[in-house]
Chain A
């Protein structure tokens, strides 16, 4: 657990709250009446066994899925319905469990695509490609290069992402999300399928993003060691139901959590 900024996060203001959210697909109940909140500046882990509804929860938060029940309040504004575009515009960025990159583009262009909503010049200027749009493009390139340096992927910026190894693809995907300069960053298993060294790098990046940019992070992760190291608070889902919520140390001791992970019937 991260001791230093623990206390002030505990007292911190709520950035996003999820109240009584339920989501089902036909007969399958993916989420049943789940409530929790994410405070400004914290790293909030969402854990649970396979099929617990973790990814579905992220999909609800960034507007991919519309919950049948419940209210989501982001930056003080409650909403019943939000489209992915509104979520992105409001400052929510994300990565995907199975990397979703623009496979035909270079790493640089992928990250550049993260700037989409930051570019405001109109079509006409886009077409002419000089004047303000050009200045703007240069400015955005500058920010993107910063991210590339930060993630240490300078050598691969011109490489089409389809050709990159999985670990680097995940890094590029993080870069694309960071390019959005989000207030809330949703990471769906950013370390899945990585070796120990890659995991350590990724953990470092996540901590740095949180500390240096003050970005609030919701993190889905299966590796308990990583969860203990990175997160301030943990919410535990099982079969679409919230079974525990608290600091990493608290939830690890929780009997319901232990049972869920050991597969005890309930």
Chain B
């Protein structure tokens, strides 16, 4: 009985008793969730366009952040470093297309998946070689990101919003929205969806697979850079950041590998669910909960909606 009480009654009593804490937890979950959405979006874009599950997405976050901070350490002004990093992410996209995707075209998906492992280790080695392996501090203030917190009174208590979190949420939302609009509404977006639906039909109308691949890998690179800045600003820039990619997996399970809205909604659900779960059920379930809770949330959701959030089926490549 006691355990049932602790699992099903007590957490809700706590929520009711301290609404300020509840709102604070919701907010923290939302911030994390938006970042999860962003990183899941990187996966979705690449998966849609090439059917490849990009194992390197996590390391791209680290690589982008490391390049940015590393350049700044070498005396490059912050905004210039940002511009150069964007350029490097573009070159990375071109390189991946020319050296990895093009030679492997028509190979089974598993081969491409393995190739992204190779890319992961290349980026780790290359990043360490140039910028060293030590953790670095994100140049958040130099990039004009705000510091400090806004506190406001709520239901007899305080809710505290870190300004950097507010900025992260806004920037990530803008990025997610513009990518979503770009891929839903423009010619390039139509081409991307075409490629996702049928390679041969896309080729027959003159869509260039190569061009689409460069665009999606570049978009995934930009997403990685944004994630690296935001996430790096909350902790530090090191290869440990790579684990954020693991957070995207439950988001993808939930939202579907090919759905942009799925990635957005899935990220927020996982982020909020995770923080709420950690805060209210954490004491009952013990520590370490944050490593697996996201997966449980995704699986529970799938029990009720087996087709995933938006019901788009996983598309077979032909």
Contacts and interface: CB of A to CB of B under 8 A. Distances in A.
Interface in A95-125: 96, 100-105, 109, 112-114, 116-117, 119, 123
Nearest to B208: A85
Interface string B80-96: 00000000000000000
A102 B198 contact: yes
20 contacts: A85-B207, A88-B204, A89-B206, A101-B197, A101-B201, A102-B194, A102-B201, A102-B202, A103-B197, A103-B198, A104-B196, A109-B193, A112-B190, A113-B190, A113-B191, A113-B205, A116-B206, A116-B207, A117-B206, A129-B185
A2 B190 CA distance: 40
A84 B204 contact: yes
Given A101-B198, A129-B186, A116 B204 contact: no
Interface of A: 62, 64, 84-85, 88-89, 93-94, 96, 100-105, 109, 112-114, 116-117, 119, 123, 126-127, 129, 176-177, 180
B94 to A, nearest CB: 15
Nearest to B204: A94
A109 B207 CA distance: 14
Contacts of A64: 200, 203
A102 B191 CA distance: 10
Interface of B: 178, 182, 185-188, 190-191, 193-194, 196-198, 200-208, 312, 315
Which secondary structure characterizes the binding site on chain B? helix
Contact of A109 (B190, B202, B204, B315): B190
A239 B209 CA distance: 33
Contacts of A102: 193-194, 197-198, 201-202
Contacts of A129: 185-186
A180 B193 CA distance: 18
Given A89-B206, A93-B204, 11 more contacts: A64-B200, A100-B198, A100-B200, A100-B204, A104-B312, A105-B190, A113-B191, A123-B188, A126-B186, A126-B188, A129-B185
Contacts of B312: 104
Contact of B194 (A105, A126, A177): A105
A102 B194 CA distance: 6
Given A123-B188, A126-B186, A126-B188, A116 B205 contact: yes
Contact of B193 (A105, A123, A126, A176): A105
